[in-house]
Amino acid sequence: MSSLKNLAGQTAVYGLSSIVGRFLNYLLTPLYTYQFVAKDYGVVTEMYAYVAFLVVLLTFGMETAYFRFVSRSEFKQSVYNAALLPVVVSATIFMGICIAFSGSLSAAISYPDNPEFVIWFAIIVGLDAISSIPLARLRQENKATRFVGINLSSIALNIGLNLFFIAYCKVMFDSGRSNWIIDMFYDPAIGVGYIFIANLLASIFKCLLLLPFMTGLSISVDRKTLRSMLIYGAPLLIAGVAGIANENLDRILLKYLLLEDIGLSETMTQVGIYGACYKVSILITLFVQAYRYAAEPFFFNKSVDVDAKETYAEMMKYFVLTCLVVFLGLMMNIDIVMLFVGEEYRVGAQIVPILLLANIFLGIYYNLSVWYKLTDKTMYGAYISIVGAILTVLFNLALIPKLGYVGSAWTTLICYAGMMTMSYFWGRKHYHIHYPIKKLAAYSALILIIYLGFDRLDLANSNVKILLGNLVLALVTLGIIFLERPKKIIT
């Protein structure tokens, strides 16, 4: 239990910048969806889908490789150099190519009048890739205060710039009011581009804050260490690309599969609605992200203990139970939750429970992935993610033309459920952990039955339904706490 308490503490610390930062960014969703029509927000959704792919490509598994090798080596600076230098080189080359060919690239993605989008995002991607290794070093060295401070400072700048450009300048301009500040800093023709500009300036700022951790970088790298890290990281790169395909390819496929049938404007509207509703499911994603920050180094550090497998099983149990409670809480208050997006976007509320369940499956998969990381069988992670990517492509191709973005939501659920199942059965063969499967399945079934029952409950007064739903939520939560309370802590 002390190990679990330590993990919970790390999740809280490292998750602070992730949860608080992403939650604050989540609070920008109403700003975007109330100030921009869905087709414009669709551009934002699509561009950030590209970013997710590119950051993974430019880091090529070096974050996890750094965690693995630095824990085994006495020459920690050598391992750090081997992780950082190739990322710096690849990111610099990438930025140069994108800037040089911005016109052609912008035309290729149907934005021929906006080559600046390509330039801005090339710099964002390159700097974020470079920043990822120093941030990994801070996590590995347990410099949580510095890690949180840098991330929150960057996030604060991004949010502040969004509020300035959109909540102040755009709102004032659209209402017919203006002053010298708006005249100097705001151009209505840029539109959603101000979201990108804010991100660009925040990425530059974060990289500057991390410069002290890059100034001692040596151009001389231990080739043996680098080669070993690249071999270890290669399957993780494949898995990462496939994983990002599972998470983001649907936004891109929505555009290109619907474009011919309904035109660019309506297509981008659907992409925008899907992107906004995906944001609604972020509370589950926030918890999973915070958990991963702490759990990944914890998995490796705990692996030498004799009770490691028992600890991993307990981690899974508490993780799933927490996710189920969050799911039920969101669905009992879905009418309130959907107010976070503009009225045009609320038509997509039907996909929110599907995406929430999908992200719970993804979180379970992250827990299960401990087996192939600790046994150095990372290629299995690549296999699983590749199968997930194949499922993503096939089911999106089949369902998007018939169901639009609803098909993408179901595809996400199918993909993550498949990955979770594959990892569980392979893990039983290579690193068997006795997870409490029956108990978790029973809890999951109970939560789904309660949700489906309330979803079909027709009450004239919606406030009464919300009040009754939250009462049931409180009872379920207290019941789980009573049944699963840590016995050792109580005694």
| Predicted local distance difference test score (pLDDT) of residue 491 | 32
pLDDT single digits (tens) 161-187: 999 999 999 999 999 898 999 999 999
Token pair belonging to 279: 């944001």
Full 3-state SS string of the chain: CHHHHHHHHHHHHHHHHHHHHHHHHHCHHHHHHHHCCHHHHHHHHHHHHHHHHHHHHHHCCHHHHHHHHHCCCCCHHHHHHHHHHHHHHHHHHHHHHHHHCHHHHHHHCCCCCCHHHHHHHHHHHHHHHHHHHHHHHHHHCCCHHHHHHHHHHHHHHHHHHHHHHHHHHHHHHHCCCCCHHHHHHCCCCCCCHHHHHHHHHHHHHHHHHCHHHCCCCCCCCCHHHHHHHHHHHHHHHHHHHHHHHHHHHHHHHHHHHHHHHHHHHHHHHHHHHHHHHHHHCHHHHHHHHHHHHHHHHHHHHHCCCCCHHHHHHHHHHHHHHHHHHHHHHHHHCHHHHHHHCCHHHHHHHHHHHHHHHHHHHHHHHHHHCHHHHHCCCHHHHHHHHHHHHHHHHHHHHHHHHHHCHHHHHHHHHHHHHHHHHHHHHHHHHHCCCCCCHHHHHHHHHHHHHHHHHHHCCCCCCHHHHHHHHHHHHHHHHHHHHHHHCCHHHHC
Residue with the larger pLDDT of the pair 207 and 287: 207
Counting residues of the chain whose pLDDT is more than 90, the rounded percentage is 47
Residue 146 pLDDT class (50, 70, 90 cuts): confident
pLDDT of residue 25: 74
What was the pLDDT predicted at 90? 93
- 426 in any annotated domain: yes
Residue 88 lies in a domain: yes
Amino acid, res. 71: S
Nearest Cα to 267, choosing from 276, 275, 257?
257
Rg (CA), the chain: 23
In a domain, 113, yes or no: yes
**Per mean pLDDT, which range of 28-32, 72-76, 274-278, 289-293 is the poorest?**
72-76
Calculate the dihedral angle through the C-alpha atoms of 49, 53, 54, 55, rounding to the nearest 10 degrees.
Answer: 100
Using the predicted structure, report yes or no on whether residue 114 has a pLDDT greater than 70.
yes
State which residues form the domain around 85: 2-486
Of 94-98, 326-330, 451-455, give the range with the top mean pLDDT: 94-98
Is the pLDDT score of 77 beyond 80? no
For residue 190, is it within any domain?
A: yes
pLDDT of residue 131: 94
Alpha-carbon gap, residue 119 to 121, rounded angstroms: 6
Average pLDDT, the chain: 86
The pTM of this model reads 0.82
The amino acid occupying position 247 is E
pLDDT at 82 over 90: no
For residues 73-94, one letter each, b for 16 or more C-beta atoms within 10 angstroms of the residue's C-beta and e for the rest, the string is: eeeeebbbbbbbbbbbebbeeb
- Ranked by mean pLDDT, which of 12-16, 113-117, 224-228, 259-263 comes out on top? 113-117
Does the residue 491 lie in any domain?
Answer: no
Nearest to 235 by CA among 381, 373, 372: 381
pLDDT of res. 344: 93
Residue 198 confidence (pLDDT) above 80: yes
Measured between alpha carbons, how far is 396 from 392 in angstroms, rounded to an integer? 6
Of the candidates 270, 273, 264, the one whose C-alpha atom is nearest the C-alpha of residue 113 is: 264
Cβ within 8 Å of residue 347, ≥6 positions away: 273
Percent of the chain topping pLDDT 70: 91
Round to whole Å and give the CA distance between 33 and 420. 33
Instruction: Tell me how many degrees the CA angle 173-174-177 measures, rounded to the nearest 5.
Output: 45
Q: Return all residues near 56 (Cβ < 8 A) that are at least 6 apart.
A: 237, 240, 241, 243, 244
What's the domain count of the chain?
A: 1
d(CA 313, CA 306): 14
Best mean pLDDT range from 167-171, 210-214, 381-385: 167-171
Q: Determine the Cα–Cα distance for residues 105 and 293; give it in Å rounded to an integer.
A: 34
d(CA 332, CA 426): 36
* pLDDT higher than threshold 50 for residue 489: no
Q: Please report whether residue 84 resides in a domain.
A: yes
Q: How many other CB atoms are found less than 10 A from the CB of residue 23?
A: 13
Q: pLDDT by residue (tens digit) across 456-478?
A: 887 767 788 889 988 999 999 99
pLDDT digits (tens, 9 = 90+) for 398-450: 999 999 999 999 999 999 999 999 999 998 888 888 888 999 999 999 999 99
At 3, the pLDDT band (50, 70, 90 cuts) reads low
Q: Give the chain's end-to-end CA distance (angstroms, integer).
A: 12
Q: What gap in Å lies between CA 53 and CA 125, rounded to an integer?
A: 10
Mean pLDDT lowest for which of 213-222, 340-349, 351-360? 213-222
Confidence of residue 13 (pLDDT cuts 50, 70, 90): low
pLDDT for 1 beyond 80: no
Residues ≥6 apart with Cβ < 8 Å to 270: 38, 42, 254, 258, 262, 404, 405
Q: Using one digit for the tens of pLDDT, what is the confidence trace for 289-347? A: 777 766 766 777 766 677 778 888 888 888 899 899 999 999 999 888 899 899 999 99
